[in-house]
């Protein structure tokens, strides 16, 4: 049996260490309000760029996930931490201090909670919107069911994202409780939920990691399935191994190939496509929501 070797990092994979006064200001505000960001917890490669421009994606429902996906750096446990009732208010205050016009709220999975924390998630959205007039809120949610999505009720997000993560043949990298079909069901339910705050249907979004060993035709097939499920925005990014505890990278996809995938996605009718090695779900989120990428 031939042992697979991890490919060498190419020149275009160069992560900048966060620095500068803007980044320090964002970090200080987050720490003051005792908040978590997916930027930190998931070791996002865009922390330097996003925090340097004064933006962040807040992670709610604690910092312990009840699922253990093989690609993810977020700490996992059988049960998460007790819910923090003031979480939404502290996020709202941080958003005001940061002078954000667009905010992303995401969460860990909380299979240990009734409604898997959807009611708390919705309450945080409502508080942020109430305390910050004119703010636009994107939510990146777990694989909520129709009844769990109903918790959002009057707290209507501007964009709802849920990630299929990878192609069908590689779904084993996710926790066994997740699946491609469950994720599609969440995206379809969101599209048909009536949560849109304006005329028309809710804008939905999903992301795909590349470099796990997927084939090109599998990626194109995922695009087709997402479009048939009504997904509007597609994000494609390179999987980067956070630490030796996660699965290794199978392949580094070139920036040129990411551009070719973007062209394929646009021909399929996605309203916005973010496709580059460092792209993540919340990367360039405002531009994607406005249809300028």
CA 90, 160, 175, 50 torsion-angle sign: negative
pLDDT of residue 245 exceeding 90, the answer is yes
With bands split at pLDDT 50, 70 and 90, how would you rate the model's confidence at 42? very low
Lowest mean pLDDT among 34-38, 42-46, 78-82: 42-46
Q: What is the mean pLDDT of residues 118-130?
A: 97
Chain centre distance of CA 10:
25
Bridge partner list, 102 = 136
Lowest mean pLDDT among 37-51, 153-167, 224-238, 261-275: 37-51
CA neighbours within 13 Å on the CB side: how many for 220? 9
pLDDT of residue 37 exceeding 70, the answer is no
Q: What is the mean pLDDT of residues 235-246?
A: 94
Place of tokens 């084993």: 172
Q: Is 265 exposed, middle or buried (0-12, 13-18, 19+ CB in 10 A)?
A: buried
Strand ranges in the chain using DSSP code E only, listed in sequence order: 36-37, 57-60, 102-107, 136-140, 159-161, 203-210, 233-238, 272-275
pLDDT of residue 269 exceeding 80, the answer is yes
Domains plus CATH for the chain? 21-289 (3.20.20.70)
pLDDT at residue 94 in the model: 92
pLDDT at residue 285 in the model: 82
CA neighbours within 13 Å on the CB side: how many for 290? 8
Specify the higher pLDDT residue, 6 or 37: 6
Rounded to two decimals, what is the model's pTM? 0.90
């Amino acid at each position: 049996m031939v042992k697979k070797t991890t490919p060498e990092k190419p020149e275009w994979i160069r992560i900048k260490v966060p620095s500068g006064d803007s980044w320090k200001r964002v970090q200080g505000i987050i720490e003051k309000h005792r908040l978590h960001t997916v930027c930190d917890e998931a070791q996002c490669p865009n922390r330097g760029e996003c925090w340097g421009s004064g933006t962040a994606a807040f992670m709610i429902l604690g910092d312990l996930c009840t699922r253990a996906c093989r690609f993810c750096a977020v700490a996992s446990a059988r049960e998460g931490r007790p819910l923090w009732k003031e979480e939404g208010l502290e996020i709202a205050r941080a958003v005001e201090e940061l002078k954000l016009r667009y905010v992303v709220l995401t969460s860990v999975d909380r299979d240990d909670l009734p409604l898997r924390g959807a009611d708390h998630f919705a309450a945080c959205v409502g508080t942020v919107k109430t305390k910050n007039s004119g703010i636009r809120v994107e939510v990146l949610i777990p694989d909520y069911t129709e009844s769990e999505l109903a918790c959002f009720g009057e707290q209507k997000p501007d964009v709802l994202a849920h990630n299929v993560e990878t192609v069908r043949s590689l779904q084993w990298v996710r926790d066994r409780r997740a699946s491609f079909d469950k994720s599609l069901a969440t995206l379809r339910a969101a599209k048909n939920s009536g949560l849109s705050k304006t005329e028309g249907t809710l804008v939905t979004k999903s992301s795909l990691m590349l470099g796990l060993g997927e084939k090109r035709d599998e990626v194109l097939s995922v695009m087709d399935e997402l479009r048939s499920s009504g997904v509007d925005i597609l994000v494609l990014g390179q999987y980067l191994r956070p630490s030796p505890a996660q699965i290794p990278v199978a392949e580094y996809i070139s920036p040129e190939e990411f551009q070719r995938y973007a062209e394929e996605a646009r021909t399929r009718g996605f309203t916005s496509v973010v496709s580059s090695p460092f792209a993540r779900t919340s990367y360039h989120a405002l531009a994607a929501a406005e249809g300028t990428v």
